[in-house]
Amino acid sequence: MAESATDTILVLNGRNLNVLGTREPETYGHATLAEVEKLCRETAASFGIKADCRQSNREGELIDFIHEAHGRKTKGIIINAGGYSHGSIALHDALLAVQIPTVEVHVTNIHARDGFRHHSYTARAALASLCGFGIEGYRLAIQGLAAKLGTTLKA
């Protein structure tokens, strides 16, 4: 039996986000994935929940993480699938299958970039999508997810 994670949200980062901070900093900024994960843990903690932060460049592993979140009864998912957002029907289907409230995040404004980035399969499976706020989008996503879940800030 899977360990319960009912006080946890999954923060899932996909392809190429492991090189955040060094990959095209003029586009993605200088913040690293470690800084994103710290921001997420601190923001989640302010709502009395834990952030389980994971990253993979492999689509199948991201899907496994989503399925595991369902088995563990994870409260919600924040996902930045990177390039998989625009081409992975399988991630879309996994998110729909588990029926966990999900918020999609993109560091850049995908609608102001190349045309192929304007469409996101993961957004179609999410309750909300944020883009263009840099890493601050993760904080906003957690705050929005917490509001949807009825979780309030802890003192």
**Active site residues per annotation:** 28, 106
Q: How far is 21 from 10, CA to CA, in rounded Å?
A: 22
In eight-state DSSP terms, residue 23 is S
Q: How far is 70 from 60, CA to CA, in rounded Å?
A: 16
- Which amino acid would we find at residue 97? A
List the Cα angle 61/133/146 in 5-degree steps: 65
